[in-house]
Structure 1
Amino acid sequence: MLSSFYIVFIAVGLHATIHCFPGTQDEGKGNDVNNSPPGNSTIHKMSTNNADFAFNLYRKLASENTGKNVFFSPVSVSSAFAMMSLGARSDTQTQILECLGFNLTEMQKEEIHQGFHHLIHTLNLPNKEIELKAGNALFIQKQVKILTQFTTDVQKLYESEAFSTDFSNISAAEQKINNYVKKKTKGKIVDLIKDLAPDTYMILVNFIFFKAKWEKPFDPLETRENGDFYMSQSDVLKVSFMHQIEEHFYFVDRILNCTVLQMDYSRNALAIFVLPDQGQMKTLEDTLMSTTLRRWNHLLQKGLVNLYIPKFFISASYNLDTILPGMGIQDAFTNRADFSGISEHYKLKISNVVHKAVLDVGEKGTEAAAVTELRMEWRSASVHPGALIVFDRPFLVMILDKSTRSILFLGKVMEPREN
């Protein structure tokens, strides 16, 4: 009998720009992804693989969601599939690891798993100023024998929890998993699992939660409502724009026809916003690589920026089982799948891979009374010194962890709706 299991990814990215929190200023160069203090060499070696996988998956998602917001957590997807490769064998295992960007002649499987172990452990280190938690959980059918080596490895290397679950009681199983998800995402994602099949064998839930304060927060009194955001030349959306005049790292890329802005969080994390020139989004998307990030890192310069950027909330959900076969993970979703490293008694394949991510950008607790309701006019850079950067058309956003050089979240804001 061929059994199947679900993989569910949940990624929650929240950052609140709390005006009363001053933060501290980091005088470091660029985005610090390549200038962070020396850490585990394998993590840094893997950062290139993880970044290239992130951009490859982004292009797939963007091409199949034309005109829509795109948002996901690359580190979530790659770490969960690397974890599942522990139980994969033969071509199934090779396809997973090569899709994730690893050359198995240059990096041994043991080194890959150790790298992810250090990555997850580092992301989960306590930090008073940033809430960052990443992990996995296995919900396994009661009475089903899982190989001890697999459960030991996923718990040791990927900090995964394991729960015995009675999938014959569908409502109880759904409630158990959804309660876990709700708790881990601080209530931001509820009722994720629906319509479970009674013959479900195992569910893997992968989650990442991120919440941080800007190092240089926005003043809610500077937010302007009813600004024009041009989703296209003919489609204009009225949005609230946050505004500040502060020093940030930025760079006008004449080769890729875009403007790159770095905004730091209070500690060890940063956001990169990329504004393509008019009509240049597709060209930019097609050229993004890990080398692009390294190049920007060396070229970013600190200067005064007269910045307008929308408050926005984006949410996206994807069935990656329809995306990943086109990227090379083929056998895992078919009867050719070999997950004999998970169970010797069941012939397994992956049936569903669900990924959901949300991002909320704006001042925490902003009230309508705190903003002006007049039509916004951009303040001239000649009146206010500094480079005028106005994110009034679709742009890319990345959130990175400095210490591991990892892209935690990656996306495109086509329609910046407020939460």
Structure 2
Amino acid sequence: MERFCFLRDASGLLDNLPSKMLLFLYLVLLALGLHCTPPNISEGKVTTCHFPQQNTTLYKMSSINADFAFNLYRRFTVETPDRNIFFSPVSISAALVMLSTGACSNTQTQILESLGFNLTDTPMAEIQQGFQHLICSLNFPKKELELQMGNALFIGKQLKPLPKFLDDVKSLYETEVFSTNFSNVSAAQQEINSHVEKQTKGKVVNLIQDLKSNTMMVLVNYIHFKAQWANPFDPSKTEEGSSFLVDKTTTVHVPMMHQMERYYHLVDTDLNCTVLQMDYSKNALALFVLPKEGRMNWVEGAMSSKTLKKWNRLLKKGWIDVFVPKFSISATYDLGDILLKMGIQDAFADNAKFPELTEDNSLKLSKAAHKAVLHIGEKGTEVVAVPEVRFPDQAEITLLRPIIQLDKSFLLLILDKNTRSILFLGKVVDPTKV
């Protein structure tokens, strides 16, 4: 029984290891609780993931990161009410923790506290180890699921980043640092956008639009995600031109995918919403949350790590009729104003302290940008071969079955099963708005 709080799926490693003997040795060491480094094949080179001896930090981080995700989501609802919302919480968290490694004093404390960390309860070394494990686990190659998360810092060419910082952010956070001539605004924008476009294989384009010549440091983070459904939809059953209720007076028409299948689902009577879990074929799943009419604000305000844990306990698998719109969603955010309101103030101010990043005392963060893009279709996020369609037997067909129809505003979460991380979080208000 797969649920969204599952531990690492060891079978997924087999597809990416050069030999079964290495896999066997790694699993034996892991079972014994020893520190080990499984092979990671990427671009012909062998890299390593350093897994902590215990998973306590990762469990703690999953809750902290989830609560940060929902706090940030609520900020977006204030900034862009009644509009689609879509972002990658784990990508933003990792980028900010990476930035904090170059900071000290209030600059560092404000960043970590805005993420939900208390340095008394969780020392900086433990946070770093946890995020190193998290990033390496997410970026570990998996057959039938492609996920690449990364960050990049672009720093004014007059500033010299310290060698130790360059080494640390590369090894811990897989982050690259670029020396950039911001006085040539158009060239700097082109450099940043080209890097992000290349790293996301063309999925995220034109991230930066309005650089200024006095820019000193730009933080960008990206996440590229490609996967197929465990139970793909039959395209012949997709109904074109189905109605989707945007608000009380506005209706749009979208392709509506249909499937009768066994899925985990529940009705949360406390929050007045229906929850549908749809698994991807490897290590990831989507949660669709459909509030009853007029209850969206209530559900948004109640979302937390505890809510996810409650749903995990209550989700039950059974045959249901599912109707899901086929759509693409994207959103671009200049995170500066929101991060300021969340308490990250010194990093953007003249009194910013980044002594571990450069010896220049004038360095401060000028811009933090984020863009997320996702396509929901019959096969998943990309076109793949459709496996043989399964049908219930005649006895099950005669039974009345619940119907879940996503024909009005709903929340969408995509989670990684291994790390319990929220890869994407959003709200679909109008699926025709890309």
Q: TM-score range by the shorter chain?
A: 0.7 to 0.9
The answer to whether 1:277 aligns with 2:292 is: yes
Deviation, 1:88, is: 1.3
The answer to whether 1:322 aligns with 2:352 is: no
Contact 2:86–2:425 under 8 Å retained in 1:
yes
Alpha-carbon distance between aligned partners in 1 of 2:333 and 2:347, rounded to the nearest angstrom: 18
The answer to whether 1:31 aligns with 2:24 is: no
* 2:326 maps to amino acid: K
**TM-superposition CA deviations, 1:276-327 (whole Å, max 9, x none):** 0111000011111100000000100000010011111112122211112222
Counterpart in the other structure of 1:161: 176
Is there any run of 5+ residues in structure 1 with no aligned partner, and where? Answer: 1-26, 367-380
SS in 2 for 1:175: helix
SS in 2 for 1:392: coil
Counterpart in the other structure of 1:173: 188
Q: Which has the bigger relative contact order, CA under 8 A and spacing at least 6?
A: 1
Is there any run of 5+ residues in structure 2 with no aligned partner, and where? Answer: 11-29, 31-50, 382-395
More off after superposition, 73-82 vs 338-347: 338-347
* 2:63 maps to amino acid: T
* 1:92 maps to amino acid: T
* 2:420 maps to amino acid: R
Counterpart in the other structure of 2:136: 121
Within 5 Å, which residues of 2 pair with 1:5-44? 27-28=1-2, 30-33=3-6, 40=52, 41=55, 42-44=57-59
Deviation, 1:173, is: 3.0
**TM-superposition CA deviations, 1:63-98 (whole Å, max 9, x none):** 221110011110011110111111111111111101
Counterpart in the other structure of 1:400: 415
The answer to whether 1:222 aligns with 2:237 is: yes
Counterpart in the other structure of 1:361: 376
Equivalent residues, number: 378
Contact 1:33–1:297 under 8 Å retained in 2:
no
Counterpart in the other structure of 2:40: none
Counterpart in the other structure of 1:344: 359
SS in 2 for 1:210: strand
Alpha-carbon distance between aligned partners in 1 of 2:299 and 2:209, rounded to the nearest angstrom: 37
**C-alpha spacing 1:305/1:44, structure 2 compared with 1 (3 Å):** same
Alignment partner of 1:140 out of 155, 161, 178: 155
More off after superposition, 302-311 vs 153-162: 153-162
Alpha-carbon distance between aligned partners in 2 of 1:192 and 1:344, rounded to the nearest angstrom: 29
* 1:295 maps to amino acid: K
Contact 2:414–2:422 under 8 Å retained in 1:
yes
More off after superposition, 351-360 vs 215-224: 351-360
Contact 2:82–2:429 under 8 Å retained in 1:
yes
The answer to whether 1:417 aligns with 2:432 is: yes
Alpha-carbon distance between aligned partners in 2 of 1:364 and 1:247, rounded to the nearest angstrom: 17
Contact 1:85–1:96 under 8 Å retained in 2:
yes
More off after superposition, 347-356 vs 134-143: 134-143
Deviation, 1:164, is: 3.2
Q: CA RMSD in A?
A: 2.2
* 1:32 maps to amino acid: C
Q: State the TM-score, normalizing by the size of structure 1.
A: 0.85
SS in 2 for 1:44: helix
SS in 2 for 1:135: strand
**C-alpha spacing 1:194/1:60, structure 2 compared with 1 (3 Å):** closer
**C-alpha spacing 1:31/1:235, structure 2 compared with 1 (3 Å):** same
Contact 1:80–1:206 under 8 Å retained in 2:
yes
SS in 2 for 1:339: coil
Alpha-carbon distance between aligned partners in 1 of 2:297 and 2:186, rounded to the nearest angstrom: 44
